[in-house]
């Protein structure tokens, strides 16, 4: 899709030219010009999930520049401004983990989403994960409020080349984790 690498990706070009994509969708390790992996796709998918669920673009009020790149490496992640089901927030946060090895695999995400789809299609069965309850609560809360944001003119929503120097090693922010710490212990193991 060109959000985090060119379609005709060539690793030698990336190390020579920098990174390519739409900055908010690029995984922190790729911002640091490390080798591209499928875990970077999971990070981008997490940002897309955030955008769909929240109705907001990631970092709408931040210039897409070295400062944002540094903040992403330091653990800044998009913030949910509405009442979002915490199981979904938790999955998104796992996808956005600074450590690529801690991100779920595509297969794990498919199993989780299939499980949720089964639960939503059979609401008369006992609520296993609480997703239906969380969705209902979120809908009630969100119906009472509206989502609005202001986008800076320096926000770039098209893919381009970036070259950043002296960025810190990617890490998770203590602020992001503490906000959702009670939900980080959920067991995502699902049957196949």
Measure the CA–CA gap between 15 and 54, rounded to whole angstroms. 34
The answer on pLDDT for 182 being more than 80 is no
Residues 6+ apart with CB under 8 A from 34: none
pLDDT in tens, 72-118: 999 999 987 667 888 889 999 999 999 999 999 999 999 999 988 88
**11-145+154-183 carries CATH number 1.10.510:** yes
pLDDT at 123: 61
The pairs formed by 47-53 with CB atoms below 8 angstroms and a separation of 24 or more are 47/3, 47/78, 47/96, 48/3, 49/88, 49/91, 49/92, 49/95, 50/78, 50/80, 50/92, 50/96, 51/78, 53/80, 53/84, 53/88, 53/92
Q: Which of 19-23, 46-50, 184-188 has the highest mean pLDDT?
A: 46-50
Measure the CA–CA gap between 163 and 38, rounded to whole angstroms. 22
pLDDT at 180: 36
pLDDT at 98: 96
Measure the CA–CA gap between 86 and 176, rounded to whole angstroms. 13
Residue 104 gets which letter from DSSP?
P
Residue 57 pLDDT grade (very low, low, confident, very high; cuts 50, 70, 90): confident
pLDDT at 42: 96
pLDDT at 169: 84
pLDDT in tens, 127-180: 555 777 777 776 666 665 655 556 555 666 667 677 777 777 888 876 644 443
Report H helices in the chain. Answer: 11-17, 28-31, 38-54, 66-73, 86-95, 106-121, 131-143, 174-179
Measure the CA–CA gap between 22 and 38, rounded to whole angstroms. 17
CB neighbours (10 Å) of residue 67?
Answer: 11
Domain ranges of the chain: 11-145+154-183
pTM: 0.75
Measure the CA–CA gap between 161 and 135, rounded to whole angstroms. 39
Comparing 77 with 15, which gets the higher pLDDT? Answer: 77
């Amino acid at each position: 899709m060109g959000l985090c690498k060119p379609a005709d990706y060539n690793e030698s070009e990336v190390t020579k030219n920098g990174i390519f994509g739409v900055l908010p969708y690029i995984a922190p390790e790729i911002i640091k010009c490390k080798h591209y992996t499928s875990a970077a796709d999971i990070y981008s998918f997490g940002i897309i999930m955030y955008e769909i669920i929240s109705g907001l673009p990631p970092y709408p009020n931040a210039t897409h520049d070295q400062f944002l790149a540094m903040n992403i490496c330091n653990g800044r992640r998009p913030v949910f401004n509405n009442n979002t089901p915490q199981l979904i927030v938790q999955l998104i946060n796992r996808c956005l983990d600074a450590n690529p090895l801690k991100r779920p695999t595509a297969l794990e995400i498919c199993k989780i989403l299939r499980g949720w789809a089964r639960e939503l299609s059979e609401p008369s069965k006992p609520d296993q994960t609480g997703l239906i309850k969380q969705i209902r609560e979120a809908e009630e809360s969100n119906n009472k409020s509206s989502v609005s944001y202001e986008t800076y003119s320096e926000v770039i929503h098209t893919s381009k080349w970036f070259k950043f120097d002296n960025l810190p090693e990617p890490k998770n922010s203590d602020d992001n984790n503490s906000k959702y710490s009670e939900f980080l212990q959920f067991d995502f193991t699902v049957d196949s």
